[in-house]
Amino acid sequence: MNPIIIIGAGLAGWTTAREFRKLDATTPVVMITADSGDFYAKPTLSNAFAQKKAPDQLVVTTAAKMAETQNVTLLAHTRVLRFDPYVKTVTIDKDGVVSSIDFSSLVLATGAQPIRIPLAGDAEQQVLSVNSLGDFGVFFQALESISIRRICCLRSYENNSIEGNENAASFPAKIVIMGAGLIGCEFANDLVNAGYQVSVIDPSSRPLGALLPEAASEQLRKSLQDLGVQWHFGTTVQAVNQAGESAESALQVTLANGQTISADVVLSAIGLRADTRLAAAAGLACERGIQVDAALQTSAPNVYALGDSAQYASAGNTTLPYVMPIMNAARALAQTLSGNKTEVAFPVMPVAVKTPALPLMIAPPKLGSKGQWMSAEPNVWQFNNEQNLVTGFVLAGAQTSKRAEMVKLLQPAL
């Protein structure tokens, strides 16, 4: 029997394998990934610094253990060159050796890629993004190296005598974050809590402007500003240049409004785009993501997609780049792969924003919904559509405990 092949070893890939093994212990499963395949929770990437966790401490289960437990043949550090959905082969490059593998069914769990905008300047290539454990390792090492270098320089200047705490947080790096969306705000909160100096640049007028009513957004802005986050709204980063050896920080960031900010690290957090490259090259239907029907099948038979790369018909033909949709989709897909075709039904899935300065729980209305945000009570906002039905909500602070109550309120409208 040809194996089921899963491309991608993130949450979507591993959860599909695990759910399938609950139903079928013998059908061969091959997982292909360009990274190590270690299992980790991606949301922990944006709150690891304040918890003082290094990259290896974020690994929940090693790739070898996952492969053994789930009875999966794991091809780590392997690049998928292409696949043919009709001949049913996947062509891979493993250590420079190109080969093909036949499949019975194919699961695309290729995730998303950071959106990068073109920048001027001689240090544009030094701008970092964090979308994987490997990316986080690069970011972590950059900040550690900067802090250690500053400690060493200060020791030398003071003739090897230094007062006070000698840890890295005593000599914080300056970080510029491009983007005041969900990931940008989470990183800003985490990094400022870890003792770093943080500036956030965004072309909008407020943080999380696409998800929050204005009053909630203002609370978040003030809460993070009180911690030390410096906001620069209504402008964008135009250029990143080397600052010169004599400068205090390594980089000079030029904004569209003419202002310049010194920085040690620039982090781009302006959003993610579904990775449709393999699917599009194979002729599959793609828009904002890989288009899938209610049973998660793509436009080709026996080829499925889920996770950040998928565009779900069951969710109004949109992408759902969050944890809970992945879990629901993986359970449904496992049933289909085992011979019991199952359509995915997404319940109301509020998103928890990891900003301890102001904890948030968001159930946004559907894109393009007509209506208005209303304040039901302090730190509780609900979105009423044109029929005066509640189709979204935002909870802040201690009110996040009302999650279940608000979900019930949405049910009749949805």
Structure tokens at 98: 């190109």
Structure tokens at 372: 């208005």
Share of the chain above pLDDT 70, in %: 92
Q: In this structure, are 132 and 24 located in the same domain?
A: no
In a domain, 345, yes or no: no
3-class secondary structure, 96: coil
pLDDT tens digits, one per residue of 40-51: 999 999 999 988
In a domain, 348, yes or no: no
In a domain, 354, yes or no: no
pLDDT tens digits, one per residue of 319-355: 998 999 999 999 999 999 999 999 999 998 999 999 9
Report how many helices (DSSP H) and strands (DSSP E) the chain contains, helices first.
8, 26
Q: In this structure, are 133 and 262 located in the same domain?
A: yes
Q: In this structure, are 330 and 406 located in the same domain?
A: no
In a domain, 176, yes or no: yes
Q: Which of 238, 268, 298 is the last residue of a domain?
A: 268
Q: In this structure, are 306 and 190 located in the same domain?
A: no
In a domain, 31, yes or no: yes
In a domain, 349, yes or no: no
Q: In this structure, are 131 and 170 located in the same domain?
A: yes
Stretch 72-83: mean pLDDT, rounded? 98
Task: Please indicate whether residue 167 or residue 339 has the higher confidence score (pLDDT).
Answer: 339
Under the phi-then-psi rule, with left for phi > 0, alpha for psi from -120 to 50, and beta for the rest, what region is 397?
left
3-class secondary structure, 52: coil
Q: In this structure, are 95 and 230 located in the same domain?
A: no
How many residues belong to the chain? Answer: 414
Amino acid in the structure at residue 192: V
Q: In this structure, are 264 and 285 located in the same domain?
A: no
Q: Which of 227, 253, 268 is the last residue of a domain?
A: 268
Task: Yes or no: say if 251 and 240 are a contact pair by the CB < 8 Å rule.
Answer: yes
Q: What is the CATH number of the domain that holds 89?
A: 3.50.50.60
Quote the pLDDT of residue 54.
95
Quote the pLDDT of residue 162.
42
- DSSP state string for 253-306: EEETTS-EEEESEEEE-S-EEE--HHHHHTT--BSSSEEE-TT-B-SSTTEEE-
pTM: 0.92
Q: What is the CATH number of the domain that holds 394?
A: 3.30.390.120
Helix (H) or strand (E) holding 384: strand 380-385
Look-up: residue for tokens 């792969």? 337
- Residue 164 pLDDT class (50, 70, 90 cuts): very low
Give dist(CA 279, CA 291) in Å, integer: 10
Task: Please indicate whether residue 154 or residue 316 has the higher confidence score (pLDDT).
Answer: 316
Looking at every residue in the chain, the average pLDDT score rounds to 92
Share of the chain above pLDDT 90, in %: 85
Burial of 145 (0-12, 13-18, 19+ CB in 10 A): middle
Q: Taking the CB of residue 316, how many other CB atoms lie within 10 A of it? A: 12
Q: In this structure, are 76 and 142 located in the same domain?
A: no
Chain centroid to CA 113: how far? 9
3-class secondary structure, 93: strand
Total structural domains within the chain: 3
Look-up: residue for tokens 């402007």? 209
In a domain, 352, yes or no: no
Give dist(CA 218, CA 190) in Å, integer: 19
Q: What does the radius of gyration of the chain's CA atoms come to, in whole angstroms?
A: 23
Q: In this structure, are 222 and 260 located in the same domain?
A: yes
Give dist(CA 332, CA 65) in Å, integer: 25
Find the domain containing 149 and state its range. 124-268
- DSSP state string for 318-336: B---SHHHHHHHHHHHHHH
Q: In this structure, are 192 and 141 located in the same domain?
A: yes
